[in-house]
Each structure stands twice: as C-alpha cells, then as structure tokens.
Amino acid sequence: MTQQPTFSDLKIADTLLSVLTEQKFINPTPIQHQVIPTAIEGKDIVGIAQTGTGKTLAFGIPMIQRLSRNKGQGLVLLPTRELALQVDEVLRKIGGKFGLRTAVLIGGASMRQQLQALRNKPHIIVATPGRLADHLKQKTYDLRFVNIIVLDEADRMFDIGFMPEIKRILAAAPSDRQTMLFSATMPDEIAKIASAHMKMPLRIEVAPAGTASKNVEQEIFIVTKEEKLQLLDKVLSETKGTVLVFSRTKHGAKKITKSVQHMGHTAAEIHSNRSLAQRRTALEGFKSGRFRVLVATDIAARGIDVRGIALVVNFDLPDNSEDYVHRIGRTGRGTHSGKAISFATPGERYDIKKIERLIKKTLPIITPKDLPAKRITPNISQMSDGADRRTRSSDRPHRNRRPSRRFQRSDRTESGDSGFDRNPRRRRFGSRQNYRQST
C-alpha cells in the first residue's frame, strides 16, 4: 500500500511546516504535491486543476516561504471580490505568523482603507484586475517591487474581459519575476498569455481541463419553466444540510430567494446588485449556518469556499458549459461527497449535450413526479428588507427627467448576470467596462 504524501516531503521550511501542522494541514492534495516543490525553486508554472482542489495553498505556501526569506512583493490576481477575500484570509492565517502583511484591492471597498493598507508596505497584494488597474492609473501603487505574480482562475478572468488589463500588468511588472498561472480550463488565449509572459513554464495538470469532481453525484431534471419553483420546493424539503442555488440572472436570484424564504427556509442572495457588505454578510451567514440556502449568480461560481455544502442546484443552466463544472465544484470538495441537481427545460437538451461532451460523462435525466402544489409567493416588488427598499426608491428616476448617472450605473452587472453577457463574444469583448464598474 502506497504511503500518503505529507507536506514534510515538499521542501517546505521547518518553521512553515509547524504552522501548517498547527492549522491541521497534513496531507497535500495532488495539485499541491506537484506544484509546491517546483514553485519553491522559483520556476514558472501553469497549473491545470478542477475547482476545489486546493490551488490557494499550492501557490500560497511557496509565495510565503520565498517572501519570508527574500525581499520583494507578491501579487495575486483573481476574478471576483469574494474569491479575493477568501484567498487573502488563507494567506493572512499562514503568512501572518511570519510578519507578512497583505492588502486587498477590490471594487466595492473603501479606497481610503486600501490606500492606508498600501502605505503599510504590504508583502502580498490580493486584487481584482479592474481595481488594480485603477490604482496603477492613479499612481497610488506600482509594480516595481513585485517578484512573484499569481493569476488564479485565469480562464474566468479571460471570460469576463480582463485580458487587456492582465496583459498590461504583466508587461509593466519586472521581467525578473516568478509567474504562476492556475486555471480549470486552458483556452488558446490563456496559452498565448503563458507563452508571451512566462519563462519556460512547467505545465502541471492533475485532471483534464473541464473535468468535474468525481465526488459529486449529478442529475438533471427536465421541467417546464413554470414548474421550477415547485421542484425546488420538493428538493429542499427532501434534502438535509446547506444548499447553494445558482440563477442565471440577478433578478432571478432575488425572486428565487424570496420564494425560498416563503417556503419556510432561511435564505440569502449574492449577485452584482448587492453591495460588498451585503454579499459578505450573506456568505458569512451561509458559512455559519444562519442561512440554510444561498442563491447566487455566476459571480459566486468560483468565489465560494464553504465546506460541507450538501447540494448544489442549477435552477438555470449556465450560459457556458465550463461554468457548470465550477458551479458543481462548490460541493464534494476535497475528500467529501456531494450532489448537484440541474433544472433544464425541454428546449435545453442541446445545452445538456454540450455539458456532457465537456465532462465526458452521460448524465442521468429525470422527469419529476408528484410536485407539490404551487405556492402563492409575495410580489417581488414588496421587499421586506428596509435597506433594499431605500436603495430601490433612491434609484428610481423621476418620471419627468432623464435618469441620473447613478440609476444608469445600477444596470451594469458582473459576468453572467444579464442577457448582454450571455453572448460569448460580447461577454469577452463588450462587457469589460461594465464589469469593471462592479469589480
């Protein structure tokens, strides 16, 4: 019987090993086992691994070890605010033991606080490309001390139109640096970035691009659009534990949340119309058990790291097949098992085939029976949340005058939240400016 590897086998310094042991990190995941020794040596890496495989520690441990020994600064670029905050939390827990300071540069957060964090000369910057580009443009930050750059979820950053910013950042950073790129899929455009801005990167692939987690049981229910809420009612009543529900649009997420609350379940929502504080409250409440159900758009498909999610429900199929892999990867993380259920209308069988081709697996298709009676749900405009009501009122334009700039900006969304973003070409090339406003 082969002995399971431990972190002590990976060229990690003894002081860092003791911190990992203290935090109950004993056995590395496959991506960690292959990346960490090479990254500690300072080599460029392209890592391909499905979501939930421990990529944060794969690049975080080498970055912390190298920065604690040598001068310089690390930069981690991520596609969403939630993912940036979670990566920062992991890096602070470990790097803080060595006196390493971090700064988070994301949209929706106080610029004054970010400037103060930069004045404290952080060792690691965790940022979304849009906000980092703003700091570079305003000359409140520069890249001259950066000697380690990590691009996490690179394919997602490409999908939402951040490649121009990323190219400028890589071109402006010192050439004598280490670059690590991590992605679940590897489109040609990402490969070109690697060849143009990395020095003979070592490709480490622990699972074929687009591979879904083996720990997740998957099912698809064929149902009419009108029956989706009834099916969700049935699924929630038959499932124990926490449930993550994905909606294609932010309006749909709000509607689903109100309906789930009316069913008697505690629920919160995450989408681009929610402020950063509201999104953090929803996520923390979901982690702590205050909310049993979290309803989200695709901005959370890679921004949620919650252990023990019992079920992921795709209330709407995603626009891109790749997003299906990331969505269901929120459950069955690590060695845990999970389940994913997708609702598809009779006209979406072609979309199902695309997903099956990507994951190289035939999914069981079920026609639901014995659905509960349709509930009469409150009008979505009659919101119970006072803060939401005030926001809604303040954003309503006067009927006799042109809508204010603030009202016009409220329709700018993050990836996957609007019909505008559902066209792949317009997602990639037409929505970048829109997305930057909210990231």
Give the predicted TM-score (pTM) of the model.
Answer: 0.70
Strand ranges in 359-427 using DSSP code E only, listed in sequence order = 365-366
Continuous segment of H or E residues that includes residue 126? strand 124-127
pLDDT at 390: 35
Which amino acid makes up residue 13? A
pLDDT band at 4 (very low <50, low <70, confident <90, very high): confident
Contact between 47 and 185 under an 8 Å Cβ cutoff? The reply is no
Q: What residues does each domain of the chain span?
A: 7-205, 216-366, 400-438
Convert 409-424 to b/e letters by CB count within 10 Å (16 or more is b): ebebbbbbbbeebeee
Average pLDDT, the chain: 83
Q: 160 falls in which pLDDT band (50, 70, 90)?
A: confident
Q: Do domains 7-205 and 216-366 have the same CATH topology?
A: yes
Instruction: Name the residue type at position 429.
Output: F
Residue among 75, 67, 50 at smallest CA distance from 13:
67
Residue 2 scores a pLDDT above 60: no
* pLDDT (average), residues 242-259: 95
- For 147-151, 158-162, 316-320, which range has the lowest pLDDT when averaged over its residues? 158-162
* Cα–Cα distance, 115 to 186 (Å, whole number): 35
pLDDT at position 65 over 50: yes
Percentage of residues of the chain with pLDDT beyond 90: 56
Residue 337: pLDDT band with limits 50, 70, 90: confident
- If one compares 239 and 398, the residue with the highest pLDDT of the two is 239
* Neighbour tally for 366: CB within 10 Å: 12
> Mapping DSSP to helix (H, G, I), strand (E, B) and coil, where does residue 212 land?
coil
Q: Please, are residues 79 and 153 in contact by the beta-carbon 8 Å criterion?
A: yes
pLDDT average, residue stretch 390-400: 36
| pLDDT of 308 | 85
Q: Give the integer Cα–Cα distance in Å for 249 and 258.
A: 14
Name the H helices within 339-385: 349-359
Half-sphere exposure of 300 (CA within 13 A, CB side): 31
Give the integer Cα–Cα distance in Å for 58 and 28.
9
- Who wins on pLDDT, 38 or 214? 38
Predicted local confidence at residue 223, as pLDDT: 94
Span of 227-236, 290-299, 367-376 with lowest mean pLDDT: 367-376
- What is the average pLDDT across 288-307? 83
Q: What is the pLDDT of residues 15-51, one digit of tens each?
A: 999 999 999 898 999 999 999 999 999 999 999 887 6
The pLDDT, as a whole number, for residue 41 is 95
Q: Which helix (H) or strand (E) holds 220?
A: strand 216-222
CATH number of 7-205: 3.40.50.300
Better-scored residue on pLDDT, 73 or 375: 73
Band (358; pLDDT cuts 50, 70, 90): confident
Residue 418 has pLDDT above 80, yes or no: no
Segment 201-215 mean pLDDT? 76
Closest CA to 101 of 81, 75, 79, 120: 120
Q: How would you list the strands of the sheet with 216-222, edge to edge?
A: 267-270, 293-296, 243-246, 311-314, 338-344, 216-222, 365-366
H or E element in which residue 76 lies: strand 73-77
CA 274 from chain centre, in angstroms, equals 16
Lowest-confidence segment of 85-94, 220-229, 326-335, 381-390 by average pLDDT: 381-390
Q: Domain 216-366: which CATH class?
A: alpha beta
Residue 175 pLDDT:
92
